[in-house]
Structure 1
Amino acid sequence: MSFRKVIAAIVSGVFFTGTLPFLTLPANAQKATAEDCTQSVQATWLEHYTAEASTEGECGLGELILTVRNQAGEIEFADSFGPNDLFGFYDIVTFQAMKLALTDWVGSYADQSSSGKLPPWPQGADGPDAGEFPFFVEEGVTRDLYEDVRAEDRAMVCFIQGGESLLCLVKHPRTGDLEAIGVQTFPG
C-alpha cells in the first residue's frame, strides 16, 4: 500500500468514525473505563448514626461523598473526596469494585472505639505523642480540651479521609453531636 493510500485510509477513518483507527481502545477496555458506578451503601456507626458512602458517575471519576446522620435524620458530618485522594479507591473501574470499596470505607475500615484510646498529649509538647505515625488535633482543639475528651472516654469513630490518614469524630456526651477531634496518620 502506498503512502497516499495509508494517509487516505486514516483520513477517511477519522472522517467517518471521528477517531484515529490506531488509537481506539478494544471494546472491553472501552466498557471498563465507561462503567457507571452510581451507588450508595450505609453502615451504622456508634449504634446511633447512619454513615452513607455514595458516588455518582463514571467509575474512578465521580466524587465520593460521606454523610453521617443522627437518629433524627439530621446531618452530623458531611464531606466529599476525589477517588484518587482516598486510600482504597485508587484505580477502581467496575461497579462491583466500587461497591466493595464504599462498603469497606464505612464498614470494616471505620474504627469504632473510644477517645480513651487517643495518644496522650504531654504537658509542654506541641501535640499528642503518637510515635511514628503522629496524631494531629483539629484546629482550635487545645491540650486541656483534648485531655478532657480522652479522660471522658467518649464514643469515637475514625474513618479514612485521605491517602494516609483517618479523621476521628467523638460523640459529645450531652448533645450527641459528632465533633472532629483530629487526624491519625497511618502508613500508606
Structure 2
Amino acid sequence: MRVFLIAGLAALAVAACTPAEEEHGALSEGCDARGVAIWNTPADPNASIEAITTGPDCARAVATLIIRNGSGEPIYSETHIPSQVMTLAQASTPAAMQTALQEWVDPASNTTMPTSSALPEWPANADSPQNGEFPFYPAEGASRESYNQVRDANVPLFCYVQGMESLNCLALRDGALESVGLQSFPG
C-alpha cells in the first residue's frame, strides 16, 4: 500500500508540474539560447561575457548576463526579462534569441565608452554628470568624488543595454566590477 501511495503522489506531482501547453497537445519549443564573447582588456585579457535565456518560450523567458574573470569565476550577474530589454525584446524564437544574445554581450559594440575616462564629466556644483541630450545617472550612493575617481582611473568599461532606453555601465577595477551608472538614450 505504501508503494502505491508514494507512486500516486509522484504521479500527482508530475501532473501538477506539466505546463498547460502540454495538456492541450501544443508542446512549446522553449527558449534556451546562449551568447558568449571574450572581453579582452589590459586588466584581464581572458575575461568573458555570457548571456543565457531559459523559459517555456521566448515570450516568457528570463535572460541572465554573467561576466567572468579570466579564471572563469563570475564577477557580475544580472537577470532581466527579455521583453524589457531593447536588444532582446523582438527575439521570438530560440535562433533569434541566440543572435540577439550574441550581439548583447559583444564588447565590440561598446564603442561609445570603452574606458571610464570616456564617462561624461561631472562638473563642480552640478547635481550629476553632464552629457547633453543623453543624461547619465550615477550609481546609487555615488558622490562626485567617487565618480571622478573611477573616471580618472581610465579602467575598462562595459556598458550594456539593460532596459528599453538605457545602458548600465560597469567599470572593471582591481579585478571586480562596479556599477558606475546608467546612460539614457532617446527612445
The TM-score by the shorter chain falls in which range? 0.7 to 0.9
Q: Which has the larger radius of gyration?
A: 1
Normalising by structure 1, what TM-score?
Answer: 0.76
Q: For the Cα contact (< 8 Å) 1:50–1:69, is it kept in 2?
A: yes
Segments of 5+ residues of structure 2 without an aligned counterpart are 1-25
Following superposition, which runs of at least 4 residues in structure 1 exceed 6 angstroms of deviation?
Answer: none
Residue 48 of structure 1 deviates from its aligned partner by 3.2
**Separation (CA, whole Å) in 2 of partners of 1:162 and 1:80:** 12
Say whether 1:92 aligns with 2:91: yes
Report sequence identity in percent.
37
**Separation (CA, whole Å) in 2 of partners of 1:150 and 1:93:** 38
Write the letter of the residue equivalent to 1:39: A
**Separation (CA, whole Å) in 1 of partners of 2:91 and 2:156:** 32
Q: Number of aligned pairs?
A: 156
Post-superposition Cα deviations, 1:23-60, rounded to whole Å, max 9, x if no partner, equal: xxxxxxx78xx332202121112333211100112122
Segments of 5+ residues of structure 1 without an aligned counterpart are 1-29
Write the letter of the residue equivalent to 1:38: D
Moved more, 115-124 or 83-92: 83-92
Say whether 1:40 aligns with 2:34: yes
Moved more, 38-47 or 128-137: 38-47
Residue 133 of structure 1 deviates from its aligned partner by 1.2
Residue 110 of structure 1 deviates from its aligned partner by 4.0
Q: Secondary structure at the match of 2:75?
A: strand
CA RMSD for the aligned pairs? 1.9
Normalising by structure 2, what TM-score?
Answer: 0.77
**Separation (CA, whole Å) in 1 of partners of 2:166 and 2:46:** 24
